[in-house]
């Protein structure tokens, strides 16, 4: 699993004009990509990392300050544009494999005590955020 993690001062996801997920104040906006060999155990590992990674102000984690997370599925994190002009998505897991694993990341975060908002899997989403820093890291498990 792969996640692009951005420290934000607020973020939201809109689908067809409707806000489906939103966090306000300090938190993390997390784009999650799933590949073919990912497992529920990797989803739990990613959730633990997201909850405890110290990337917020003053080297705090979401667990330290009860900061919210906005988790959004993004298959394009496994895109490959090394050849030609058009990326391939061969490394991205198909929806029936990926969706339950993204849901598992969210479930595990909530089990840890996190406040989590989400996008809508497979939808045409509009993501807005204020990146604080800017601060963006790649997390892989």
Residue 103 CB neighbours (<10 A): 16
Whether residue 74 lies in the annotated active site:
yes
C-alpha closest to that of 130 among 3, 7, 2 = 7
Q: In what order do the strands lie in the sheet with 116-118?
A: 116-118, 69-73, 18-33, 2-15, 125-140
Among residues 75, 88, 121, 136, the one annotated as catalytic is 75
Both tokens of residue 51? Answer: 């909850």
Active site residue 76: yes
Catalytic residue among 74, 88, 118, 130: 74
The verdict on whether 75 is a catalytic residue reads yes
Out of 19, 24, 39, 76, pick the active-site residue: 76
Which positions are annotated as active-site residues?
74-76
């Amino acid at each position: 699993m792969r996640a692009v993690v951005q420290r934000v001062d607020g973020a939201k996801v809109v689908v067809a004009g409707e806000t489906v997920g939103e966090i306000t104040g300090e938190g993390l906006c997390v784009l999650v990509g799933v590949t073919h060999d990912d497992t529920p155990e990797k989803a739990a590992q990613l959730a633990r990392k997201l909850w405890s990674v110290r990337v917020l102000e003053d080297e705090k984690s979401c667990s330290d300050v009860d900061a919210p997370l906005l988790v959004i599925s993004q298959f394009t994190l496994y895109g490959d544009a090394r050849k030609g002009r058009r990326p391939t998505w061969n490394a991205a897991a198909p929806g029936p494999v990926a969706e339950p694993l993204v849901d598992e990341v969210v479930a595990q975060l909530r089990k840890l005590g996190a406040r989590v908002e989400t996008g809508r899997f497979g939808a045409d989403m509009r993501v807005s955020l204020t990146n604080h820093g800017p601060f963006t890291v790649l997390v892989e498990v």
